[in-house]
A and B are shown apart, each in its own frame.
Chain A
Amino acid sequence: SQTIHQWPATLVQPVGSPLSLECTVEGTSNPNLYWYRQAAGRGLQLLFYSVGIGQISSEVPQNLSASRPQDRQFILSSKKLLLSDSGFYLCAWTPSTREQYFGPGTRLTVT
């Protein structure tokens, strides 16, 4: 069966520090991968999505970037965090049958 992992689960970082969040999917190949951010009490904001290795589409201009170095690995990065980057970061994947499944999320607090 397929499984999606995210780490870390929680993170507290100071303003201006770098960020690296990792997402991996097991049990499938060539999944579509997505990064979402959810501010407290708010909806899901799509940040990036990828249909293959090295293929990244950005939905919102941010100080964030994404990379897909391997088929089942998706990384979200920032060189300098802002206070507004705080939130719940969710990775998601879509198999060929089109359903989208979310990872457990990373709760980021920028102080």
Chain B
Amino acid sequence: GENVEQHPSTLSVQEGDSAVIKCTYSDSASNYFPWYKQELGKRPQLIIDIRSNVGEKKDQRIAVTLNKTAKHFSLHITETQPEDSAVYFCAASRGTGNQFYFGTGTSLTVIP
């Protein structure tokens, strides 16, 4: 089955700096890669996703890159703000009807 690894497990950055979280996957058939943000005590919220037919996707301050050859994808947050502090999870899936495999999470702290 699929194995998703996520690094780092914790990350602290100064407000305004960039944050990068990286994930690797093992199943070359995986073709959908979402990222979730989970604030304390709340449900994970989908913040951005990428499908295997593109290499990069951007939405305001967040972007995701995908390298299919190397089987890794990354989340980039620019101009970080205190409200970006949360746990971020990456995931991989083969698509509709298949399960999602989640990374172990990255706890991001943005220091004001």
Contacts and interface: CB of A to CB of B under 8 A. Distances in A.
Given A43-B105, A105-B43, A98 B99 contact: no
B43 A49 contact: no
Contacts of A90: 43-44
Interface string B82-112: 0000000101010111011111110000000
B43 A32 contact: no
Contacts of A99: 34, 46, 49
Contacts of A59: 99
A102 B43 contact: yes
A46 B46 contact: no
Bin the interface of chain B by size. Answer: 20 to 34
Interface of B is mostly: strand
A32 to B, nearest CB: 6
Interface in A26-74: 32, 34, 42-44, 46, 49, 51, 57, 59
A107 to B, nearest CB: 8
Given A34-B99, A105-B42, 14 more contacts: A32-B96, A32-B97, A34-B100, A42-B105, A44-B89, A46-B99, A46-B102, A49-B99, A90-B44, A94-B96, A100-B91, A100-B100, A104-B43, A105-B43
10 smallest CB-CB distances across A and B, nearest first, come from: A102-B43, A43-B104, A44-B102, A43-B105, A98-B32, A102-B44, A51-B97, A105-B43, A98-B96, A49-B99
Interface of A: 32, 34, 42-44, 46, 49, 51, 57, 59, 90, 94, 96, 98-105
